[in-house]
Structure 1
């Protein structure tokens, strides 16, 4: 499929909407009421620091809703207002935040369900409205919805679209896209659908395996087994790693994406020499500014003398997980929760460890004076963060009393 031509055709359709519907002020007021917090603004105004009793809260200087997320949610709200009686669907969670997705359900916006691991689009009717989430949607999904004659509201983050454009450039010059990401993540599924040939690498370790194969060759079947489900149909490492371009899932750890890009560039330089490098390697800066800012703020925060760290965001949020990784790497007791209800008591907290199942930790809140670092992923409203901070204050106050 000529994805570029399809995108152009879709964007020219009267049933395709990439911008809002003119309800900006009303929607902004609603979102401020539902998602903003006076407490969080107070902490911002006090240089991201607030002390009550023996608890000091240090808030990351960049956290929570990013512009792309806020835009996507606002467009979903506008869609409901603009089509008050229409049947409205979202192809996936609008963002990775349970409270926001639940609010949309309360507004009678339905979510496409998975049946045997596949999205069941059979429920979508001819005149239905379908919202594409901030992560985007695959080319095949957009084609299907277009063929059904649906009204499509596309909230895809512009940073994700920027990655797609890079992949289009790889394809145009017959390069294989090496995508730093999680092959089953919605964003990477969408990104890979724009490529003719692709390989998804999860981390630097996998990238090193690939570069070793490029330089020294190896067991082809072992390669294909190792990356099962993470490459395009018919992928052949002996043929398809000669010309490569780097792309990324926008929510991955920035420093690792940069390392993988440098590693691939150095590998092609070593194999083909400086005069042939541009014939074998392509790179564009597609690291999301918001992701970078939140990770940089987290690196600053973990240098403080923290008693513990609370990272707030959806358990399936990639960018939130990477914030948690930074705390863990700095050996700080850190707990990834998605809402205040995970704080069960002063002694018990339900959280998700890295690469583990949701579990309960005992005695998570230390006695005496404590300094608590707080951050949140790009899909987390300020109000959710404020609820967690207030809960910590309340628990310590009870202990003092």
Structure 2
């Protein structure tokens, strides 16, 4: 059976208006043009990545119980930080794909991960992004024989169907934890539960997850979850909700087609974007369960709410390590990671909640010249600060997002050490 024919079951289902995403994925796994396991160059590519992305300084920190002092700067490194297994796997597979297909034109549907250093490396390997016109990806640029990489965040089921129908080669680097969430929303769909997805509706991962769901609503935080639950209870929770029309307007970009809050909120299942704050996802799940219990009674709650653990281990470990780090006596925090990285934003959020001066940078280019730093605040504003490093001894906590290579962290720290050294040399001359 050829690669095009293997999607017949899913194609026929779609034609009848009963598209089965699970059946499509099952068929895709048998497609000779589809690869999710690499090409046999794993060890070679991991060695190449080690040469490009690892750091002697970070190694010294780890060997010294995650603390290291140079001059009067003491660095305290979070116990869990940086590249997670899913990110490493995605980058390794992209490297393998380029080695296996040295001459083919190669595309990627989104950034492989949210880190500018890594994404620039792939650009140097002539891996191009699918162009976007008016927020719509233009797949017409993909020709027969081209190779398309699906990033760690995944791709929508519609994109995968399109590429499968075109018969192009796909290299799927989707993180298995993301796939686990897809399986969860599929269970919701089969049992006719509405998926409540804790995430950011415009984030690539959440967009992909929603494409595998049936009926869904995406909530960004507890405030939006409270609004939904208040609506379910007719305004008896906290009075935050409004009319049906106001509900639909509020969530117009975050709900499935033809969503009806008066009928689609009676049976709910919780899922999440894997990079969200663990504690908030758990709190939203408990709120939904209490709401269903209040509306339908304790005896009926299992018929109206279902929950599976879809919190990524790596995200949880980095958040737990950050919570531990901010309990130390720190003068400031540096958080290193891509500015569009959701998991990095939540590390920054933890620091800001503790009122610790915290500087979120995506690369060493943000530090300097002189004692200056350009950093991003939690809610998106990029600001510059002069004289951000104080005179005298300073203890700096540092962590990095799951898409950040150790080498980037080292480059940032070297800038810090250089600024402090320059401060001393200037003072000596004076």
Structure 2 counterpart of 1:152: 170
Give TM-score, length-normalised by structure 1. Answer: 0.99
- Specify which of 317, 325, 332 is matched with residue 341 of structure 2: 317
Structure 2 counterpart of 1:326: 350
- For 1:367 and 1:11, the matched residues in 2 are separated by 59
Structure 2 counterpart of 1:266: 290
Runs of 4+ in 1 over 3 A off after TM superposition: none
Q: How far off its partner does 1:150 sit?
A: 0.6
CA offsets 1:372-396 (integer angstroms, 9 cap, x no match): 0100000000000011111111111
CA offsets 1:213-272 (integer angstroms, 9 cap, x no match): 111165100101111200001000000000010000000011100100010011111111
2:197 is the alignment partner of 1:179: yes
2:371 is the alignment partner of 1:347: yes
Tell me if the contact between 1:346 and 1:364 (Cα under 8 Å) persists in the aligned partners.
no
2:68 is the alignment partner of 1:50: yes
Q: How far off its partner does 1:39 sit?
A: 1.0
Q: How far off its partner does 1:188 sit?
A: 0.2
- For 1:25 and 1:238, the matched residues in 2 are separated by 54
- For 1:195 and 1:318, the matched residues in 2 are separated by 21
Q: How far off its partner does 1:343 sit?
A: 0.3
- Specify which of 89, 101, 122 is matched with residue 140 of structure 2: 122
Structure 1 residues not aligned, in runs of 5+: none
Query: Cα RMSD between the aligned structures?
Result: 0.8
Structure 2 counterpart of 1:112: 130
Structure 1 counterpart of 2:254: 230
Q: How does 1:78-117 map to 2 (within 5 A)?
A: 78-117=96-135
Give the secondary-structure state (helix, strand or coil) at the position aligned to 1:246: strand
Tell me if the contact between 2:199 and 2:219 (Cα under 8 Å) persists in the aligned partners.
yes
2:313 is the alignment partner of 1:289: yes
- For 1:62 and 1:156, the matched residues in 2 are separated by 22
Give the secondary-structure state (helix, strand or coil) at the position aligned to 1:361: strand
Give the secondary-structure state (helix, strand or coil) at the position aligned to 1:193: helix
CA offsets 1:320-359 (integer angstroms, 9 cap, x no match): 0000000000001111100000002342111111113222
Tell me if the contact between 2:330 and 2:397 (Cα under 8 Å) persists in the aligned partners.
yes
CA offsets 1:116-155 (integer angstroms, 9 cap, x no match): 1111111111211100000000000000111111111100
Give the secondary-structure state (helix, strand or coil) at the position aligned to 1:349: strand
- Specify which of 35, 54, 75 is matched with residue 36 of structure 1: 54
Structure 2 counterpart of 1:206: 224
Give the secondary-structure state (helix, strand or coil) at the position aligned to 2:360: strand
CA offsets 1:169-209 (integer angstroms, 9 cap, x no match): 00000000000000000000000001111000000010001
Q: How far off its partner does 1:111 sit?
A: 1.0
- For 1:346 and 1:393, the matched residues in 2 are separated by 12
- For 1:343 and 1:28, the matched residues in 2 are separated by 29
Higher gyration radius (CA): 2
Give the secondary-structure state (helix, strand or coil) at the position aligned to 1:237: coil
Aligned pairs, how many? Answer: 401
Give the secondary-structure state (helix, strand or coil) at the position aligned to 1:239: coil
CA offsets 1:271-291 (integer angstroms, 9 cap, x no match): 111221111001000000000
- For 1:13 and 1:278, the matched residues in 2 are separated by 38
- Specify which of 135, 140, 158 is matched with residue 153 of structure 2: 135
Structure 1 counterpart of 2:394: 370
- For 1:106 and 1:201, the matched residues in 2 are separated by 37
Give the secondary-structure state (helix, strand or coil) at the position aligned to 1:153: strand
Give the secondary-structure state (helix, strand or coil) at the position aligned to 2:333: strand
- For 2:173 and 2:83, the matched residues in 1 are separated by 15
Structure 1 counterpart of 2:12: none
